[in-house]
Chain A
Amino acid sequence: MSESNGTYRLAVDIGGTFTDLQLLDEDKGVLVQEKVPTTRGHLADGVIDGIKKIRERAGAGEGKIDFLLHGTTIVTNALLEESFDPAGLVISKGYRGLLEYGRVYVRGPFGTWMFYQPPNRVIPLENVLEAPGRLDREGTEVTPLDTERIAAIAETFREREIASVAVSLMWSFVNDAHERAVKDIFAKVYPECDVALSRDIFPEIREFERAFTTALTAAVRPSVSAYFDGLESKLEAAGVKTRVMSVKSSGGVMSSAETSAHPVEIALSGPAAGVLGMSFICNNLDYDKAITFDMGGTSTDISYIENGTPSLTTEGRIGEYPIHVPIVDIHTIGAGGGSIAWVGAGGKAHVGPRSSGSQPGPAAYGRGGTEATVTDANVVLGRLPSSLIEGDLPLDLDAAKTAVTKFGEQIGVGMVEAALTILELASHNMEMAIREVSTRRGRDPRECVLVGFGGAGPGHVCRLAELLGVPTVLLPTGSGVGSTLGLLVTDVRRDVGRSVLIGMDAEDREARIASAFGGLATDAWETLDRESVPDDRRELLVSGGFRYAKQQYTIDVPISRPNGSWDGAPGESDLKAAIDAFHVAHNELCGFDYRDQPGMTCELVNLRVAAIGRFTRPELKAIEAGGEEPPPEAAMEPRSVCFTQEEGYVETPVYDRSKLLAGNGFDGPAVLEEFGATSLLFPGQRATVASDGTIVISITSNTESGD
């Protein structure tokens, strides 16, 4: 963090096949990249190999690597595979079944329950034990904690060889005395056991959400701790002195120690880093609102960037599990290049969510796939080159034609119309998904730029932009999109929060908020102490979740506070401004507000404090500048591409993207080839190359807006 001589920050992204590394020279702001094979089973070996290579490439010698930043999928995989460490839960008496019934919620439309199978529990019911003792909403003791029973519970867990236990008791976020007492008893009776208290993990109202988050913590902590211990000891043995930091699902990084304490916060670590990198690129080009569109083989991830930072949600899901801590708001749609076109009940045409996967893959891959996919439709229409991955994967045009023709017969249209139908239907599905999420979050896609990446993103994003009425599309360079960039452009961050439930008509509101803030700010500041963040790099940001009385959902708005001391609580004028911001936000999100209406009071439900330690940002290197026209060497063999039924196949220029220079411009229709992706410009669209190599495309919408 401090700017010493010859120091480096290293970002590592361990993927399924490759481990990507990116090294930032803190002094020069220079970035160096490296790619090595992932060593499955011994992940650290690949990392150490990569470090050796990237040091050589950067001429870094034995220069000190201050921080090793990385994203890990360890918690994500546990959630997706529904497989957890053995753990126990101590819950208030009377609530043994809480993790089973949850919120009595079955996702999906009417009738879904007939077919719904709940996921594996993070802690099975036989390992949930009840603690007699109860507090009320004021935190006053109704029934004392049965300490003998707690000691017996500790013994039971020892007998069952469960060494990670969550404790979640009613109203613990108001008064944590009972939870702390449980921890003390465990420390005496079963000191080897790791105990996670809900008051530390997620001190918010709603007993299921708090208990679930705490239970998940206990059920992944042993693996997460072991992973970091292993990585750090291997690095040390290899002579690499560094501090390992992990990127959080909400953006920001924290040390391995903090990560092990709060492992739920890295549940979406990898994808979050990717979105952070995107927001950095958008920021550099001065776009403050963006929708990112990452289309791969089986699915598409959508996320939002607002004011230059990824927008977050506390209503996230990973696999079948709810995630209540803030995570980057990524919405996944079952539509990708491998999505299969099929005809269902009543002759209804569908594209996805079923996917051909990588085996057998689309018909055009020639691996035995016979069902038409999005990729096959692209091949038939000439939108993809004759082979992928620099010739390693030749595409079988005839197989694609056969598959698409067969689908066409089922819906009664010819091959070309069938191919266009597949692509338009896929675009339509994505358009609908983006609109639904936009509305849910109160955003208008027309005010955003659309950022296309992933294997299939650049080929579909320009048509999607037309449908959404988005005026501008960005296609970042391949090297920019890796999540390693995201790791280098974030800060040390820890979010703490607590449910406070303070009516804004309460006379003592200022004092109550000050008291809650005091506790949170101390927690946050101490985190920054532990992370050794210098004072001049520290910042505490306050926000509050407000709602009108009786509403269910809250809207988070920032709360300002007086300049000067780090622990100065928000005052009356800060609160007034926050309430004002809430009215505005409610109006933007919901279409109306109740400013100055008698009886329509609002309340502060959750108070949050973000502790931030600022890192220096790298400079993105500019690419070589050129003239208005692309240089002749960028032109490749033109090919025949079909964009619409009416126009049919038209001769279309093809450019080698790596040879384009900053300032170049050209009109659609056009095709851009690069390693791993093909971009498609539709007729009427115009592209220019930005200084960092990003392609900026202006879209003339062919859909009129409604108003």
Chain B
Amino acid sequence: MATLLEPNPKQAAAITPLIVEIVEGTCESAKMEMEAAIDRTARSLLIKEQHDYQASIFTPGGESISTISFCPHVDPILEKWPASEVYEDDVFIWNDCYLSAGGVGHLPDISVTRPVIVDGTLVAWVNAFGHVDDIGGVLPGGMPAAAVEVFQEGIQIPPIKLVDRGRLNEGVYEMILRNTRFPEAIRGDIDGLVHSLGIGVQRITELCRRYGPETVVAACERSIERCATSLQNDVFPLMKDGEYYFEDFIEWEDVTPDEPRSFIRIATKMIKRGNEVIWDYSGTDAQVKGSLNLPGNDRYYEKLMGAHFRTLRPELFLNEGVCRVTQAKVPDGTVLSPKYPAATSNRMWALQVMWENALAIFNIAGAACPACSNTNTLYGIYGYDKNGEYFFAHELPGAGQGGRPFADGLDVANLAPESRNSPAEIIESKYPVIEETCDIGIDGGGAGKFRGGNGLVKEIRVLEDGDLTVITGRYALPCWGAHGGKPGRPHKYILNPGTPGERVYERGKFDKEPVKAGDLIRIYTAGGGGWGDPLERETHRVLGDVVRGLVSGDAALSEYGVVLEEQKAGGLTVNEAETAKARDRIRNDRGELKLIDRGPEFYRLAAEGRLPVTCEDGYWVQPDE
């Protein structure tokens, strides 16, 4: 059993600058060491390739010390067990979305937690989670779009002790592994996560032995406070005081037929005044009868949005301090505050739109920021192979990123930190498919002074009968352009293109569409939004893109007003005189450039009343006088 050590403000004031740096640096280094250990042993694709895992370190009271990005909590442990019932070698395991205050958003994220107890005193918590390949439920991968209750999404593990005072409860493992389609892989993942906790515990313990637990806890408090002041001093002044509203929609057409809703609104209002930022989500749609819901709480959203400030200042050290100077407000019963037992497994689309909305708001509030970037499209092909073995070939393949105030968006990248794609040869070695094409798509990125990145074009030949599942956002509504830049092209999935049986999938979220041996699935992943007026793009950049096959000659003319001609000696060159004329023509004919351009499809759906926008263009700006 442990006693709780609370931060002591007096002690905090006596800490030297050096000790704060060393404690902060050691916690961050411990986090990275833990993550290296998870990475090293992982078996689930989303952990080992997509880097969907994180280690974190918390104060005894559950405040984040290490940098936040996916933002887990340890609050549920604190609520359930008083310090007097927490022991040195305890390991907690949990994935219960409704008993985790937002720390676990969907069931595949297995979370494990250990206390750090030094000489009987609880000085910190270490936590690690990883997105495992399967946790049961109606669909392999544990992310069925059409699930209407969390019970259909897999096994729920409330916070329990996997290891109690050093004694492993094998029964917990048996129970979990009996409920997954890939027990060996999941066992390997959980063992890796648990082992990583030991590294964190050891490092924090060494730190306490060197400086004393009181000093370490007090230095953590100083680190948190410093994060808060750095936001106030170095980030908030980048935006004008005022109120900013931006709404966007998760595409949800026909996913849950018994609740016919097509577009789910995420409404974000940022109120920025002086030293405080408020994120107000009033106006966000009610929870859905489907797996889109994101079960967070206010503090969780403060951290989630807070992590996004790094967009404005990349060197920021962001931890719990964001919660001291920002405030999130989410009304009850929305898609961001669902009631048990609403399904949550596809809550990543809500997360994604929240992030994109924040990016849009930074843009309209005057901060230098990229256009809309979207990398998330997820597909899976599943069935039984020749040997009667179950297979599930799935990946997040990467897409185009938004143009930036200083450079083009990246072609085919993934914004999840350190994440990688799955090599075609690895996919082919494991699953009955051949990846006939895996290339950069032409013209996918939105035009702009700095164009959006192009998406991927991928063609998969299926060698066995099976089923296809696709879960993607930005299938109808493209990535928006900023400051005059054009939107990118949305994701697109086509079956057997160019044949009589060609079928363009009408929507971007389905659990099961049959595919036959010999079928070809072609995927275009989305392009990022462009940044700035395309007519201001330097002509040699347009020429370079055409020569490299990234932009077509037609688009060079129609989007950029660049006239290219063949040289006698071969090769293309820019006709500058004709280009100037073409650009003048386009400039005269087009309307006013938009600060945020959401694309014709958005405006058409809004005009037809199918997209329930609450204001023109879906955003407004109200700076303080």
Contacts and interface: CB of A to CB of B under 8 A. Distances in A.
A100 B411 CA distance: 8
B195 A591 contact: yes
Nearest to B373: A113
Contact of A345 (B18, B41, B233): B233
Nearest to B416: A110
A425 B229 CA distance: 22
Q: Which 4 A-B pairs have the closest CB atoms?
A: A346-B230, A94-B437, A97-B440, A104-B398
Contacts of A100: 411-412, 440
Given A101-B456, A113-B373, A432-B28, 12 more contacts: A94-B438, A95-B424, A104-B397, A106-B413, A109-B417, A116-B410, A348-B24, A440-B33, A440-B36, A549-B184, A552-B39, A591-B195
Interface string B293-313: 000000000000001101101
Interface string A563-591: 00000000000000000000000000111
Nearest to A121: B548
A421 B428 contact: no
B233 A105 contact: no
A590 B37 contact: yes
B166 to A, nearest CB: 13
B203 A706 contact: yes
A97 B234 CA distance: 39
Contact of A134 (B42, B199, B434): B434
A592 interface: yes
Q: Which of A107, A113, A126, A428 has the most CB of B within 10 A?
A: A113
Nearest to B187: A600
A599 B186 CA distance: 12
A481 interface: no
Interface in A678-707: 703-707
A106 B420 CA distance: 8
13 contacts: A94-B435, A94-B437, A94-B459, A111-B307, A117-B407, A125-B548, A206-B423, A206-B426, A347-B229, A417-B16, A439-B37, A550-B184, A552-B39
A347 to B, nearest CB: 6
Interface string B557-578: 0000000000000100000000
Contact of A136 (B69, B434, B440): B434
Q: Which of A111, A118, A142, A440 has the most CB of B within 10 A?
A: A111
A171 interface: yes
Nearest to A552: B48
Given A171-B425, A703-B209, A704-B209, A413 B410 contact: no
Contacts of B18: 349, 420-421, 424-425
Interface stretch (B93-101, B314-322, B606-614): B314-322
Contacts of A207: 423-425
B412 A413 contact: no
A429 interface: yes
Given A346-B226, A590-B195, A704-B209, A440 B40 contact: yes
Contacts of A189: none
Interface in B431-470: 434-440, 456, 459
Contact of A348 (B37, B184, B317, B440): B317
A98 interface: yes
Q: Which of B192, B311, B438 has the most CB of A within 10 A?
A: B438
A104 B439 contact: no
Q: Interface range on chain B: under 10, 10 to 19, 20 to 34, or 35 or more?
A: 35 or more
B311 A552 contact: no
B32 interface: yes
B84 interface: no
B210 interface: yes
A703 B33 contact: no
Contacts of B315: 344-345
Contacts of A413: 16-17
Interface in A113-148: 113-118, 124-126, 134, 136-137, 142
A659 to B, nearest CB: 37
A550 B43 contact: yes
A105 B22 contact: no
B205 A706 contact: yes
Contacts of B425: 137, 170-171, 205-207
A52 to B, nearest CB: 51
Q: Which of B17, B25, B315, B404 has the most CB of A within 10 A?
A: B17
Contacts of A600: 184, 187-188
A435 interface: yes
Contacts of B185: 549-550
Interface string B1-22: 0000000000000001110011
Contact of A97 (B22, B49, B307, B439): B439
A347 B423 CA distance: 43
B202 interface: yes
Given A94-B459, A96-B549, A136-B428, A112 B33 contact: no
Contacts of B373: 113
Interface of A: 93-98, 100-101, 103-118, 124-126, 134, 136-137, 142, 159, 170-171, 205-209, 344-349, 411-413, 417, 420-421, 424-425, 428-429, 432, 435-436, 439-440, 442, 501, 548-553, 589-592, 594, 599-600, 703-707
B411 A101 contact: yes
Contacts of A436: 29, 32-33, 36
A347 B21 CA distance: 11
B421 interface: yes
Q: Which of B373, B428, B456 has the most CB of A within 10 A?
A: B428
A149 B234 CA distance: 58
Contact of B428 (A125, A137, A346, A552): A137
Contact of B412 (A101, A348, A552, A704): A101
A590 B22 contact: no
Interface in B248-304: none
B482 to A, nearest CB: 13
Nearest to B209: A704
A395 to B, nearest CB: 24
Interface string B386-418: 000000000001100100100100111111111
A331 to B, nearest CB: 12
Contact of B440 (A101, A345, A349): A101
Q: Which of B191, B233, B425, B435 has the most CB of A within 10 A?
A: B425
B49 A552 contact: yes
Nearest to B235: A345
A551 B41 contact: yes
B618 interface: no
B506 interface: no
B319 to A, nearest CB: 11
Contact of A432 (B25, B227, B415): B25
Contacts of B24: 348
Given A94-B439, A126-B548, A109 B69 contact: yes
Contacts of B28: 432
Contacts of B21: 348-349, 425, 428
B419 interface: yes
B488 interface: no
B417 A108 contact: yes
Given A108-B418, A435-B33, A592 B548 contact: no
A136 B199 CA distance: 42
Interface in B199-214: 199, 202-203, 205-206, 209-210
A439 B199 contact: yes
A114 B311 contact: yes
A137 B429 contact: yes
A139 to B, nearest CB: 12
Given A104-B397, A126-B547, A115 B314 contact: yes
Contact of B202 (A117, A432, A707): A707
Contacts of B39: 552-553
B26 interface: yes
Q: Which of A108, A439, A707 has the most CB of B within 10 A?
A: A439
B183 interface: yes
Contacts of A137: 425, 428-429
Contact of B210 (A136, A439, A703): A703
